[in-house]
Amino acid sequence: MTTLMKGSCLQFKVTDQSALSRARCGEITTAHGRFETPVFMPVGTQGSVKALSPQDLEQAGVSILLANTYHLYLRPGHRLIEKLGGLHRFMSWEGAILTDSGGYQVYSLSKLRKISEEGVTFQSHVDGSTHFIGPREAMEIQRALGADVIMAFDECAPYPANEAYVRNSVRLTSQWAAVCRACPRGDHQALFGIVQGGMVPELREKSAREILALDFDGHALGGLSVGEDRATRRRVMQQTVPFLPSDKPRYLMGVGKPEDILDGVAAGIDLFDCVLPTRNARNGALFTKQGPLTIKNACYAEDDRPVDERCSCYTCTHFSRAYLRHLFMAKELLAYRLNTIHNLHYFMGFMAGIRKAIQEGRFGEFCKGFLGRSGE
């Protein structure tokens, strides 16, 4: 089944479906290429995946990445990026790009914010200056950036939050989503709506029904990975996804631990993003098929083995744990690049393994095997 989203160049096709869960494989085609789902999107906060070049990303198998509307609006500014040919040209990335709405960053980074019916007035985390972003502004910023997939502006409830706050968050998210849906965007841009509702099943359903009524090109689950435990997050996903149409992509925002990705895939999620692999790499925490490895540990000082003997990334095929530890302890910039190359290669391989397991009808076995190795 292939769906061509009206008013955009995005096509979505479900190619395989698990018989024992909602896990599925698919293909998404955008103006900047095709990629398979489930997919993990590295985060390029400032229009750059920290420490890596576009060539590094391509070699790791990255086909779509996320850039942050809030950060690019503050610096260098969306008008400058538009003047210089859009974000793809600005950062010399030929693959697909998704930009978030900026709502989460306003929620999480602002020292001072005031929410109104029109949007959010907030204080910049960079220089303390005052700014306003509402649904129209978020859409205009993203239109200027030129990403392939853009997000409706939403209000992300904190955790924990009382039901009255969450109910108002749902109301504002739906109200702003309708404004975003009516705003102009590039001919190649697909627009996703965001489902909020905190951890309250009734409000998740209400939000989903209101967002679906606006006929977006895809749908995201927002307001998760904000401090809740894994069991709660899994419950919310399992309760909410059945309300989302099967013929459009589903995106779980800001969730990136491998075990959480497995939960999301089992619930029927297609897209994921998180800073986890890149941030952990810069902190010396490396992912391996045998479990996590902390490269600063003294036991690696004379270890001539690669990080993961079963890994084919540039880092593992050229450098030892001893060398990587030396670079990290000496605070050499190369440490961040090599560690990040490895972690992203791991995540791309992890997602490829998930897709293959779904295609071969053994996703449940894949999950049990992975969680068994990680001690879950």
Residue 330 tokens, joined: 């000496």
- The three-class DSSP label of residue 113 is strand
Distant-in-sequence, close-in-space partners of 162: CB < 8 Å, separation ≥ 6: none
Active-site pick, 217, 260, 263, 273: 273
How far apart (Å, rounded) are the C-alpha atoms in residues 127 and 193?
31
Determine contact, residues 99/168, Cβ cutoff 8 Å.
Answer: no
How far apart (Å, rounded) are the C-alpha atoms in residues 277 and 342?
9
Active-site pick, 16, 100, 215, 308: 100
Which residues are bridge partners to 29 per DSSP? 11, 34
Whether residue 38 has a cis bond before it, omega within 30° of 0: yes
Per the annotation, the verdict on 304 as an active-site residue is no
* Region of residue 139 (phi > 0: left; psi between -120 and 50: alpha; otherwise: beta): alpha
Tokens 């500014």 label which residue? 77
State the DSSP string of 306-318: -S-TT--SHHHHH
How far apart (Å, rounded) are the C-alpha atoms in residues 313 and 73?
34
Phi, then psi, of 305 in degrees rounded to 5: -80, 160
Per the annotation, the verdict on 273 as an active-site residue is yes
By the 10 Å C-beta count (0-12 exposed, 13-18 middle, 19+ buried), 6 is classed as exposed
Identify the CA nearest to 169 among candidates 156, 152, 153, 151.
Answer: 156
**Catalytically active residues, by annotation:** 100, 273
